Amino acid sequence: MSTKKAIVLGADNNYREKLETTIKSICYHNRDLKFYIFNEDIPKEWFYLMDKRLEEINCEILNIKIDAEKVKHFSTPDKHIKYMTYFRYFIAEFVKEDRALYLDCDMVVHGNIDLLFQKDFEENYIIAVPDGWYKNIFNAGMMMVNVHKWKTDNICQNLLELTAEKHQEVYGDQGVLNLLFENKWKKVSPHYNFMVGLDTLA
């Protein structure tokens, strides 16, 4: 089993610059990483160039093509949120490691992530940060995923089925994830998924 830390990012080719920024920010503070890039249209040439750069710091990048037809028909809560957000459902279908850090690719990482990878799941499906003022739901933009438990409990299929039933009633895939993992996720400090602007709200 690889000793590299697994990180999952999802994007399309139009979002590639933001994806690169997120990857660069992670690599500035960390080494020994294995990036799984869930996508349907990013050119293989881009992955070749990225892999050449990343191997110098003992990192690698994998081109994971997702069958978008499985999620294209699901609704999203805002126009700027695309169906690619549902790609995170497939984490356990492709990731080989027992845990993986999922990040939205509009995030900037400004520190070492080793401590996050060392946290105990305590039988939970994910480790995440509460969503703003709502302490009983989590923000799905950062999830430490218990890949082993997702595989064992067939979470991908469960999420797809629940989304087919509820996607027009809840806040996209984040709403579905919160339904399925209600009381089955572990809270960590908001510093692990800090949203600019929340510190100014009264």
Tokens of 132: 């703003």
Give residue-wise pLDDT tens across range 152-202. 999 999 999 999 999 888 888 999 999 999 999 999 999 899 876 544 443
**Per CATH, domain 5-200 is 3.90.550.10:** yes
Give residue-wise pLDDT tens across range 89-113. 999 999 999 999 999 998 999 999 9
Give the predicted TM-score (pTM) of the model: 0.93
Domain extents in the chain: 5-200
What is the length of the chain? 202
CA distances from 196 to 7, 88, 92, 116, 131 (A): 22, 23, 30, 21, 13
The answer to whether the CB of 185 falls within 8 A of the CB of 126 is: yes
CA nearest 3: which of 63, 58, 48, 62?
Answer: 58
Integer Cα distance of 96 and 182 in angstroms: 25
Phi-psi domain of 168 (left: phi exceeds 0; alpha: psi -120 through 50; beta: other): alpha
